[in-house]
Amino acid sequence: MTTLHDYHSKVLAWIDQDPDLATVAELRALLEASQAGDEHAQAEITDRFSTRLNFGTAGLRGAIAAGPNRMNRVVVIQAAAGLARYLLAHAQAGKTPSVVIGFDGRKNSEVFARDTAEIMSGLGVEALLMPRMLPTPILAFSVRELDASAGVMVTASHNPAADNGYKVYLGGNDQGSQIVSPADALIAEQIDFVATQMNVGELARGTYSIIAESVIENYISQTALVAGNTALAPSTQPHFIYTAMHGVGYETFAAVISRAGFVVPEVVAEQNIPDATFPSVEFPNPEEPGALDLAYGLARRTKAELIVANDPDADRLAVAIPDETAAEGYRRLTGNELGAVLGWRTARELTRTNKSGTLACSIVSSPALSAVAKHYGLDFRWTLTGFKWVSRVENLAYGYEEALGYLVNPGTIRDKDGISAAVALLSLVNELKSNGSTLRDHLEEFSMTFGHFASKQISLRVSDLSEIPRLMTNLRSSQPDFVGGSAVLTLDDLLEGNSDFPPSDVLRFWLEDGSRIMVRPSGTEPKLKIYIDVVSREGDLAHRTSDAAKRLSTLAEGMKELLGL
């Protein structure tokens, strides 16, 4: 059993190797308070030193503070050294491995990036650092563009302001995709070795190179091509609002759309410049209530046709359209709605040019994209949750996941990209407008062509983490015959894995009425997540919409009853 004295010894050992004066002072204050009997300080030390931040397929992510269970310079240096050891162990004979490193505008992002570059260089890896804070998609692009062995992006994406993170990509056969098993576990082993066997203060630091502006220019040029050959007449240019959500997206976004021929939009000035405190939003995530309020206000004042939003590292895209029934006067499209219409755009282009390709989305995304693929005779693939899986689909032409992640140009990048997705969306809106139509009209046409798909999520937050495996076990052991009055045709348990998926703690119900229900634990929060999808294909649009909404509600109540909620 670890005693309080043991924890105090761990704190002193940590202070001995910590290069950050701020976190050293933080730990000294906690240690002094704990030794004086402060129970809060004792609990804080126990929480920070009883375990480490887990390094997995999402890399690292956590609150910025001192200790192994937080994001700080020691943890980042250990991660950099562990990744370097992994790359050196797996390098081709006679070839020096290389890494490209990017960072966003969050607190300590640049510091963490420079530490990474110096440590990896000191261990023998060629390190190339982005010249300034830039979007995650540029980093992902650069891994392929520079034929690097790996990439590191220092970002916590759309997490709260207190957080930062460390996302890892691999080059070579991985083509610049995010890490998956077994690479994540092998890298984690090396990080643990560094953490237990080395003092980071004694690691050699080397020199690194700054990535040339031409790499960024190439990203801008290639992403602008997503717009296609659509003529952009002034009369059909969409009048839209853009928000960077206090992140790093605007400079690159503006350069790309200008290159593609679009007029630069009006911006939400309060959110346009990177600000690590994210002062205007509680959570810098366009999915969160209130995050788009400033954009809604500006759109109402200027009568905008569209709102376009990136998250802080610009790998996600949110879009809102005018809607007189919405309280704000605009309605944000769901990730599934936007994913479906962007997939439809890809399918039509493949058909027009007589090309093949695969459409793909994560298993918790709507079945709408599979209907598009079937309609056009294209291949379709489900993947596990996470873009690390979507981006790896063979012959991928387009992929998305419902959490606002879209990949419209897999020949250029192998990760979700909120900037290229925005270019595709603006091109579609311009085409529609030139034909006297709107995005809202297009969504209605989708419903009448493929069926009206509707989705709903239920998140069950727990205080006791053991509740989640108990609920999953109960569902597995007593498989229901009905949910909300609809018969269960099949129940797929992905825990053992199959030819399509590696093992994953996911249950998938297919119901007699064509509905689908997914149940899985959250990968980042103490939640059980339930995804319900229905489709209505009979009657006019009003009937389809009403029917889908009614069935969603019925199935949601059925799942709550099944789980005893």
Residues annotated catalytic, as ranges: 157
Q: What is the rounded CA–CA span in Å between residue 223 and residue 108?
A: 29
Q: What is the rounded CA–CA span in Å between residue 423 and residue 462?
A: 40
The pair phi, psi for residue 169, each rounded to 5°, is -120, 155
Q: Which of 511, 491, 504, 495 is closest to 551 using CA atoms? A: 511
> What Rg do the C-alpha atoms of the chain give, in angstroms?
24
User: 11 to each of 8, 18, 72, how far by Cα in Å?
Assistant: 5, 10, 14
Q: Which of 58, 221, 69 is closest to 153 using CA atoms? A: 58
User: 18 to each of 107, 152, 281, how far by Cα in Å?
Assistant: 18, 22, 32
Tokens of residue 392, six digits: 């790896």
User: 94 to each of 88, 97, 121, 183, how far by Cα in Å?
Assistant: 11, 10, 17, 21
Q: Which of 442, 394, 430, 398 is closest to 416 using CA atoms? A: 398
Tokens of residue 131, six digits: 């010249």
Antiparallel, parallel or unpaired: β 163-170 and 60-63: antiparallel
CB 45 within 8 Å of CB 62: no
Residue 270's CB: how many other CB atoms inside 10 A? 15
> At a CB cut-off of 8 Å and minimum separation 6, what does 69 contact?
47, 48, 49, 50, 51, 52, 53, 62
Residues 50-76 as b/e (b if ≥16 CB within 10 A, e otherwise) read: eebbebbbbbbbbbbbbbbbbbbbbbb
Helix (H) / strand (E) containing 481? none
Helix (H) / strand (E) containing 265? none
Would the CA dihedral through 188, 60, 76, 154 be positive or negative? positive
Calculate the dihedral angle through the C-alpha atoms of 43, 44, 45, 49, rounding to the nearest 10 degrees: 100
